[in-house]
Structure 1
Amino acid sequence: MLASLNWMKEYVDINVTPEELADKLTGVGLEVEQVIHLGEGLEGVITGKVETIERHPNSDHLWICMMNLGQGELVQILTGAQNVSQYDIVPVAVVGSQLPSGMKLKKAKMRGLDSFGMLCSAEELGIDSKLLLPEQRSGIFILPADTPIGIDVKPVLGLDDVVLDIDLTSNRGDCFNILGLAREAAAVLNSDLKMPDLTVKETADGQAAAMAAIKVEATELCSRFAVRVLKNIKIMPSPAWMQKHLRACGMRPISNVVDVTNYVMLELGQPMHAYDYDKVGMHTLIVRRAAAGEKLVTLDSQERILEPSMITIADTTHAIGLGGVMGGLETEVTNQTMTVLLEAATFNGPTIRRTSKALGLRSEASGRFERGVDTVLTHNALNRAAHLLEQMQACETVEGIVESYPIEYTPAVIKVTAEAISKRIGTIITKKEIIRILQKIQFAVSEEGDDTLIITAPSWRPDVTCDADISEEVARMHNFANIASHLPRLDIVQGRQAVIEDVRDAIQDYMVTAGLDEVMTYSFIHANAFDKMQLAQDDNRRKAIEIINPISDEFKTMRTTMAPSLLAAASYNLARQHTKVGIFEVGRIFIPKSLPLTEFPKEHQVLCAVLSGKRNELNWNESHEDVDFYDMKGVLEGLMEKLQVADYKLIPVAEPFLHPGKSCAIECEGKIIGYFGEVHPTVEENFELGAVAYLLEIEIEPLVAGATTIPQYQRLPKFPSTSRDIAVVVPTEVSMAELEKVIRANGGELLTNVKVFDLYTGKQVAEGCKSMAFNLTFQDNERTLTDADIDVVIKNIVNVVSETFKAKLRD
């Protein structure tokens, strides 16, 4: 924010240099980034009056001006400007004066005649042309007719001012105005704060309530809305003093009515808007949500397409303004305006921010509403604006204010002890000093008992809601520089991360080692992702959280599965001629307990991976086959081995996005924790993969109990191993995983490995059965095994398998 020091001085006595004030404000949390001296480099330029003006005899574009500089004799100055007339008062750079550009004025000769100075334009005086009226931007800067002659031009144009460029944090909307900054300056300088004059004469005929009506329909978006009626409006330029203040704060003067609304916004922090009373249908203002597709031409002459999330100000027929952002062109105040409806309101900050972003339309008003505007300011702002226009003799105010106040302000009351404040700050501050500090920044304080304080935050500080906020206020006004630094007195303990994070790291390390590339995708997906995945309408994964302010329409939904994100990433890479795609991500999915949300959703950490394309990049000494189901199965098995998770099995699954005959669910300790398999051909087509793809998704948390990330030492065997093959005939529905699990469980300590090497169905086995052949490896760390040792184990395995699965040993 740009803040005029001259303007601040109207409300507080400042007895320090601008740089010292900047340091003090920065010390209490209002960071002053720059101190700007507006008239820096401008010396010796004074006001002068054109007593006579005539053409140069030797030039068709030069003029000879005889200037009254208030020093008795007239001074001859030549100019090429064409906008100068007799009796104009203008800035004059006399011989010896200096301009901000560094140029020093000397006597000059122009077409044979001497010129003892120069008439100055705004640009030559260092004034930004964007802050001037169109007629002031070119040619010589013409000063008001009542400007004294022969005085320094700096105070006339406000160039004797100093501007503080302050970087305000988002919670300090109370300082986004001159009075708020003056309040802080008064506190740090131990000075008194003066208040602006809010008196209104109300001399016009009638009652405001009989002339205007308001209705707040969207009460959740507008907590207070009020208007005043001003009659007999006279549109004219604002007084010079007001224009100086506006320019110093970076705003261009336009006309008295518009300037007053901007002035009050800069002064008090309350955005305002003026409507031409006669252009408002039924003289009624309605605060409502916009209709979908509703159109509004704003003051910048741009047509805006509105959405239902936006606040509109409407009359009885259509929208005439965009609440909190910008007014409509149709009801703009013009030179023909006779009566004005003056509005001040409190709008919902987050809604204003989203509207500004959606429309690409930021304004001084929207920036203030985003930070939060003091609800109590509404009447003060209306009265201040009316007072200023009355002072200019530019209006007559109708009696009364028309108002809707659906959500009344309730001050925050906080109970805290002086001991707690001192403990949190880290230095001892007495209760008496705490009370003094808080009262200095206009917090109401009462005492309860020996050490307890009951504190009421002022209306302009909605960010102060708890004892920690009170401690911060005390600390900053005590000045952080006055708080001594202390090393923390803590026991030093070895830190470590949670077990689930160890498992997560181990998973990421393994997946990279397995040859996959890690990707990072958004936690949001397109709403149509569930349709592309072929999820049924009653599938719980469709119960997803919708984002109120998405970064784009493509990312409106918080994901309940990571599969769409990874399939989209695979499609992106395959479309760019990557023949081998192996990607994975360890991220979060978000499962709401109910919709609409009443509490935070459950977040699950999940591993998701996709394989597609070729097994290897094109190379002369490597095969170039496509990846298949067993590549993904190998990734899963290697991961489980890495995490030393043994108690899991693969069972049939019916996921709509997986191929029904080439997919499995992953079961761990009786619970389904994931799935893998070939992506359904329709889903492949929906995601435009262009190749067969294999998908794995597994929850991480259920793995934690059985996983270990600490390598386990195993002594190398000294004695030889031996193997036996067995083939068993079992019913077709018995899975290899079930059979293998039983074999391992009953093989004892001597059985070290089990491998399937054959699967047969055909004439040599009974109908409804299949034959599976296993290679069993046996070994003992203490001795060489005999055939008798192995026979005992084999017999036990065969007996249990036969009993469990009604299996028969195949010859």
Structure 2
Amino acid sequence: QQRQEGAGIRAINNVVDVTNFVMVELGQPMHAYDYDQIAGHSLTARRAVEGENLHTLDDSERLARGNELVIADSEKPAGLAGVMGGLESEVTDSTTAIVLEAACFNGASIRRTSRACGLHSEASGRFERGTDVTATIRALDRAAQLLQEMGACTVTQGVVDVYPVAKEPVHVTFTAEQINSRLGTEIPAERMIEILEKLYFKVSPQEGGVYSVEVPSWRNDVTFMEDLSEEIARIHGFDNIASTTPRGNVTQGGQKPLQAFADRVKLALTHMGMCEEVSFSFTSPEIFDKMELPEDSSLRNAIPIMNPLTDEFPLVRTTLLGSVLENAVRNLSRKNEDIKIYDVAPVFYPKALPLTELPREVVKVAGFMTGRRNPVGWSNDSAPIDFYDAKGIVEDLLEMLEISRYQVEAGEYTAMHPGKTALFKKGKEVIAAVGELHPKVAENFGITKKAYVFEMDLLTLLKYTVAKSSCTSLPRYPGISRDLAMLVDENVSAAEIERTISRNGGKFFAGVTLFDVYQGKQIAAGKKSMAFSIQFQSNDKTLTDAEADEGFQGILEAVQKEFDAELRG
């Protein structure tokens, strides 16, 4: 008892103390069962049945998931294999006959069971790291010897040993030159053999300076020559190995174009006052529900993780917005209510489930904004962020990336308000989406303030960015500006009118800007007033009013024809 308590294990009774003592002495965990409490007087190792009750020695009851390994009698589990024994068959003061059981379990299986049950023990820790498969009989004999020597029992003759595939000894070959070349040393072969034999390796010389080493059965970590070199270096002493400068070909590192472009996007968003967040690539079905994804949405086709870090994140994410929204909620719950965050990270789309090949990895850019537009200060107002702040972030980013000639139109996008969402398009391809967070999604996440989100595909942005920047000199000649105010149907978008103006502005057309939109008492129902500032300019001369009027007249005729526009004075 004193020796095992010195090893950090409390004393319980003579039988359990002996099994714990042998575990510390020989490294082999074992368990003692009350023979009379074993149904059918038989024990077997099997997988648990889903929903089966696991009642362990800590007096806790757990329902099996169906993949745990148990030691069972003829009726029920008698113990959680490699982790903890069962309560019903434990050794008590009334026990008159016991069965000693020792085994060598697969370390990965015990680790999964221990983690799934939230139960760690001295035995599971040893099995997870690997035990000596040849030591089980020796450990049983040692335990029986100790019990008999203390007069606790009479040992019956014989053991039941199930060992269908005996472990073959592991042999590793090496030469002194190989070891010295790897370590950068000049250790004699005789010294190497001396070190290995002291560590219970059996060394046999072969022809040509080759040595064959039989690895001890308990050294499951030694399988290659490199492992032997580490053993020799450890005993020889790292301080006795001279420091040398590594030699090799120097290869200049570099980033892939997509990685460099991602850094460029991050820098641009950071310059605009947003903070980068870092998130795990994992998600859960609950996130899809909160985002109000339809049941048939392809985004729900997520890859399940075989060994998730926690039960909360069993899937690999298919949308970056879910991760951004989770981090936003975490900030809001800590009273950080003025948030401008973004993330540049991959999402994963499987080609088929279950996986037969690697999924398609797509890098996305997503952002979230809510709270005040400006920091708190006596000279700043408390105006909240609105849709145009988020839209402006996207527009400024595209401008910094030198992406132009895109169209902006109303549309629908995941988790965004259908009436307050803008899609940035090049032709029919969506390069960015920005909008107010859908009220139902905001409610599901517990976000009570107006919030705005955006999402982009990094590879799509890279495709349309200008590979080589160009610049032009500032205009030498003054331009001419004309204002155009008109009444149009309320369903007509500014983007449609701007495209028409651009097509019909003539050779001196330089740009158009929307500066006023109005709907009110003075405007007929179903109509709206829109006012544009149109610029005309030449790089070769000063324009005359007649030349500007010619382009302006072409614009008037086009908008009247295409939109049935009514000009306002």
2:523 matched residue in structure 1: none
Match of 1:366, SS? helix
Q: Once the two structures are superposed, what CA deviation does each residue of 1:509-564 show, in whole Å capped at 9, x if it has no partner?
A: 33333333444444433431111211122222112234455555443433221223
1:503 matched residue in structure 2: 261
Q: Give the number of the structure whose residues are more often helix, by fraction.
A: 2
**Pairwise CA distance, 1:345:** 1.7
Are 2:21 and 1:275 aligned?
no
- Determine if contact 1:647/1:669 at 8 Å carries over to the other structure: no
2:402 matched residue in structure 1: 644
The 2-side partners of 1:748 and 1:310 are apart by: 77
Are 2:47 and 1:286 aligned?
no
The 1-side partners of 2:371 and 2:210 are apart by: 71
Matches within 5 A, 1:523-538: 523-538=281-296
1:680 matched residue in structure 2: 438
The 1-side partners of 2:549 and 2:222 are apart by: 80
Matches within 5 A, 1:286-305: 286-291=44-49, 294-300=52-58, 302-305=59-62
Match of 1:607, SS? strand
- Determine if contact 1:264/1:384 at 8 Å carries over to the other structure: yes
Are 2:475 and 1:701 aligned?
no
Counterpart selection for 2:160 from 397, 401, 406: 401
CA gap of 1:478–1:777, structure 2 versus 1, over 3 A, is: farther
**Pairwise CA distance, 1:248:** 4.5
1:203 matched residue in structure 2: none
Match of 2:133, SS? coil
User: Which structure has the greater CA radius of gyration?
Assistant: 1
2:298 matched residue in structure 1: 540
Are 2:118 and 1:365 aligned?
no
**Pairwise CA distance, 1:403:** 1.8
The 1-side partners of 2:492 and 2:294 are apart by: 29
The 2-side partners of 1:602 and 1:539 are apart by: 17
**Pairwise CA distance, 1:707:** 4.2
1:756 matched residue in structure 2: 514
Matches within 5 A, 1:632-781: 632-646=390-404, 648-650=406-408, 653-655=411-413, 657-667=415-425, 671-707=429-465, 715-724=473-482, 737=495, 740=498, 752-757=510-515, 774-779=532-537
- Determine if contact 2:488/2:565 at 8 Å carries over to the other structure: no
**Pairwise CA distance, 1:588:** 3.6
The 2-side partners of 1:286 and 1:543 are apart by: 40
- Determine if contact 1:673/1:699 at 8 Å carries over to the other structure: yes
CA gap of 1:491–1:656, structure 2 versus 1, over 3 A, is: closer
The 2-side partners of 1:604 and 1:515 are apart by: 25
**Pairwise CA distance, 1:281:** 0.5
- Determine if contact 1:290/1:306 at 8 Å carries over to the other structure: no
**Pairwise CA distance, 1:270:** 1.5
**Pairwise CA distance, 1:573:** 4.7
Q: Once the two structures are superposed, what CA deviation does each residue of 1:107-149 show, in whole Å capped at 9, x if it has no partner?
A: xxxxxxxxxxxxxxxxxxxxxxxxx5xxxxxxxxxxxxxxxxx
2:100 matched residue in structure 1: 342
The 2-side partners of 1:463 and 1:769 are apart by: 79
The 1-side partners of 2:326 and 2:481 are apart by: 46
Are 2:246 and 1:488 aligned?
yes
The 2-side partners of 1:414 and 1:740 are apart by: 77
Q: Once the two structures are superposed, what CA deviation does each residue of 1:589-638 show, in whole Å capped at 9, x if it has no partner?
A: 34344434456555443322122344446767555444332221111111
The 2-side partners of 1:684 and 1:281 are apart by: 56
Q: Structure 2: which amino acid aligns with 1:605? A: V
Matches within 5 A, 1:481-630: 481-489=239-247, 496-548=254-306, 550=308, 552-574=310-332, 580-597=338-355, 601-616=359-374, 622-630=380-388
**Pairwise CA distance, 1:376:** 3.3
**Pairwise CA distance, 1:329:** 2.9
**Pairwise CA distance, 1:699:** 2.7
Q: Structure 1: which amino acid aligns with 2:240? A: N
Q: Structure 1: which amino acid aligns with 2:387? A: F
The 1-side partners of 2:430 and 2:202 are apart by: 59
Match of 1:564, SS? helix
Match of 1:685, SS? helix
Are 2:246 and 1:476 aligned?
no
Q: Structure 2: which amino acid aligns with 1:675? A: A
Q: Once the two structures are superposed, what CA deviation does each residue of 1:244-282 show, in whole Å capped at 9, x if it has no partner?
A: 4x3543444554432332232223222111111111110
The 2-side partners of 1:498 and 1:371 are apart by: 39
Alignment size in residue pairs: 561
- Determine if contact 1:304/1:359 at 8 Å carries over to the other structure: no
Stretch moving more, 567-576 or 345-354: 567-576
Match of 1:698, SS? strand
Higher relative contact order (CA 8 A, sep 6+): 1
**Pairwise CA distance, 1:693:** 2.3
The 2-side partners of 1:759 and 1:275 are apart by: 85
CA gap of 1:329–1:672, structure 2 versus 1, over 3 A, is: same
**Pairwise CA distance, 1:465:** 4.9
- Determine if contact 2:42/2:73 at 8 Å carries over to the other structure: yes
If the length of structure 1 is used for normalisation, what is the TM-score? 0.58
Q: Structure 2: which amino acid aligns with 1:503? A: F
CA gap of 1:579–1:363, structure 2 versus 1, over 3 A, is: closer
Q: Structure 2: which amino acid aligns with 1:304? A: E
Match of 1:462, SS? coil
Q: Structure 2: which amino acid aligns with 1:662? A: K
Identity in percent: 43
1:8 matched residue in structure 2: none
The 1-side partners of 2:142 and 2:39 are apart by: 27
Structure 1 segments unaligned to the other structure (5+ residues): 1-131, 133-242, 763-767
Are 2:77 and 1:322 aligned?
no
The 2-side partners of 1:291 and 1:525 are apart by: 29
Compute the RMSD of aligned alpha carbons: 4.7
- Determine if contact 1:629/1:694 at 8 Å carries over to the other structure: yes
Matches within 5 A, 1:241-252: 244=3, 246-252=4-10
Are 2:90 and 1:313 aligned?
no
1:9 matched residue in structure 2: none
Stretch moving more, 287-296 or 685-694: 287-296
**Pairwise CA distance, 1:365:** 0.8
CA gap of 1:721–1:416, structure 2 versus 1, over 3 A, is: farther
Q: Structure 2: which amino acid aligns with 1:268? A: L
Matches within 5 A, 1:184-263: 244=3, 246-263=4-21
- Determine if contact 2:53/2:64 at 8 Å carries over to the other structure: no
**Pairwise CA distance, 1:435:** 6.9
Q: Structure 1: which amino acid aligns with 2:143? A: A
Structure 2 segments unaligned to the other structure (5+ residues): 521-525
The 1-side partners of 2:297 and 2:442 are apart by: 20
CA gap of 1:352–1:426, structure 2 versus 1, over 3 A, is: same
Q: Structure 2: which amino acid aligns with 1:659? A: H
CA gap of 1:751–1:506, structure 2 versus 1, over 3 A, is: farther
CA gap of 1:570–1:642, structure 2 versus 1, over 3 A, is: same
- Determine if contact 1:668/1:702 at 8 Å carries over to the other structure: no
Q: Once the two structures are superposed, what CA deviation does each residue of 1:341-372 show, in whole Å capped at 9, x if it has no partner?
A: 21112334344335445555432111111212
Q: Structure 2: which amino acid aligns with 1:284? A: S
The 2-side partners of 1:449 and 1:739 are apart by: 89
- Determine if contact 2:435/2:454 at 8 Å carries over to the other structure: yes
